[in-house]
A and B are shown apart, each in its own frame.
Chain A
């Protein structure tokens, strides 16, 4: 189990970032959709505060992950058609963009709505933009549409990983699994 990625699999740091962020992003996405189910205004305030804190955590993890990705090598592409390799890299690029853009658009929405931004009740972060409630509905729509775009891209990402695992029975998903062992290459 090495921290760094090698020829056969992603290192434990890369796998940690992948799965902890997958959990936080999917969980926070569902949580965000459930906001209106809060039993009262105070519960909604608390839920929103938690949603924002998790989103900020994703943003921080994203920065660390990009930094690590820059330091770490990545495993070479698994054998396969060139177009699939290019498509996979394209999808990964879009995922990286969305992972940053969704929390940032939430932060932007929070700023134009003039709300405080606190990370797990520990410290406050500044506004990204001046308060402007005229555009807050539009900025919220940006936040939400980016999320639905992410859902669509995730369908492709997860679908492709499962296709490789279940039908091709290759190493593409195995080398990213948290505890799985990659097959020995013949």
Chain B
């Protein structure tokens, strides 16, 4: 076994890409996935109650890191009855046809002091590249992960037709995730 161990050790030293990032389990009670939009000049905040995220992250091995997030769109709540009735409908998320949104990273980059995650978001049957800012703070065996980004709702056809008027419903939707992570 000894020669094999040495060989593996040598291999891992010369090919750091093979190093795996640590897997984390999301602590749902302390984690939130939110979105923020603007309606008639006033901001509103929403949250998704049901979602799952597979998080592998290593600050030293960004290339081995990966986020894979599934969101149950029916769980969106914004605190306004009219809006919460409209969101699952055919004009917005159309959950009857597209019940889930999916985000998976394709690459992590260091931009100055900021870590940026590139990925693909599939929402309302449309897949587009999305870039998110990542803030990862290790806390012993656990960690806090904050992710923010902005998407254009019309890129995904959310609120099309009559609702495409961005002077009433703004084009930009801000995505915010706050994840409390525990090492697996």
Contact residues of A with B, CB < 8 Å?
40-43, 45-46, 49, 114-118, 121, 123-124, 133
Main secondary structure of the interface of A (DSSP, over half): mixed
Are B168 and A45 in touch, CB under 8 angstroms?
Answer: yes
How far does the Cβ of B18 sit from chain A's closest Cβ, in whole Å?
Answer: 53
How would residues 28 to 64 of chain B score, 1 for a CB under 8 Å from any chain A CB and 0 otherwise? 0000000000011110000000000000000000000
Complex contacts, B80 vs chain A, CB 8 Å: 114-115
Are B86 and A41 in touch, CB under 8 angstroms?
Answer: yes
**A-B contact list, 14 entries, CB within 8 Å:** A41-B162, A42-B161, A42-B163, A42-B165, A46-B165, A46-B168, A49-B40, A116-B39, A116-B41, A116-B42, A118-B41, A121-B167, A124-B41, A124-B42
How far does the Cβ of A56 sit from chain B's closest Cβ, in whole Å?
Answer: 13
Complex contacts, B167 vs chain A, CB 8 Å: 121
Task: Given contact pairs A42-B163, A115-B40, enumerate 15 new A-B contacts (beta carbons under 8 Å).
Answer: A41-B86, A42-B161, A42-B168, A49-B40, A49-B168, A114-B79, A115-B80, A116-B41, A116-B42, A118-B41, A118-B42, A121-B40, A121-B41, A121-B167, A124-B40
Contact residues of B with A, CB < 8 Å?
39-42, 79-81, 86, 161-163, 165, 167-168
Complex contacts, B86 vs chain A, CB 8 Å: 41
Q: How far is the CA of A115 from the CA of B78 in the complex (A)?
A: 12
CB < 8 Å: which of B39, B81, B162 contacts A133? B81
CB contact under 8 A between A118 and B81, given known A42-B162, A42-B168 = no
Are B40 and A118 in touch, CB under 8 angstroms?
Answer: yes
Please give me the residue from chain B that is nearest to A119 by CB atom.
B41
Are A40 and B40 in touch, CB under 8 angstroms?
Answer: no
Q: How far is the CA of A115 from the CA of B162 in the complex (A)?
A: 19
Complex contacts, B161 vs chain A, CB 8 Å: 42
Nearest first, the 9 closest Cβ-Cβ pairs linking A and B are A116-B42, A42-B162, A116-B40, A124-B41, A118-B41, A118-B40, A42-B163, A121-B167, A124-B42
Q: How far is the CA of A34 from the CA of B162 in the complex (A)?
A: 20
